Amino acid sequence: MVVALETALFGLAAVLYVVLGIAGDDAGAASFALAGMAALACAALVALTRGLWHGRRWAVSPAITWQVLQGFVGAYFLTASQPLVGTVALVSAAVALVALVLVARAGDVTR
């Protein structure tokens, strides 16, 4: 599941920002702030992943919203001279979005 992979990547990002903050890079406080935001995003994605895994209807709309926002970020990265990151973000968002819509239309979600 693509949302679970995104969750793992946000968790990894949180850990890496903490490591950068501890290592004493020039922006130590900013690294800890980014770690906190990545951890919050990871926690939200964990809840979404669990909801989707258990077939809960409430998880579909925020997951679709997340994929649309990720598509916008991917489009930005494409225009910001980082085509690899942009392509990965856009492709994963598109795959997850199609899967979420198909699951929602098939009625495989419960209360």
Number of domains comprising the chain:
1
111 found inside a domain: no
Token pair recorded at residue 108: 């495989």
Quick check: helix, strand or coil at residue 111? coil
Backbone angles phi, psi at 52, to 5 degrees: -70, -40
User: Vertex 12, ends 10 and 17: CA angle to 5°?
Assistant: 95
pTM of the model: 0.83
Residue 63 falls within a domain, yes or no?
Answer: yes
What residues form DSSP beta bridges with 56? 110
Task: Give the range of the structural domain holding residue 102, as residue numbers without chain letter.
Answer: 2-106
| pLDDT tens by residue, the chain, 111 residues | 789 999 999 899 999 999 988 887 667 788 899 999 999 999 999 999 999 999 888 999 999 999 999 999 999 999 998 999 999 999 999 999 999 888 888 776 666
Residue 100 CA to residue 111 CA, distance in Å, equals 16
**Residue 43 included in any domain:** yes
In a domain, 44, yes or no: yes
The pLDDT score that the predictor gives to residue 30 is: 87
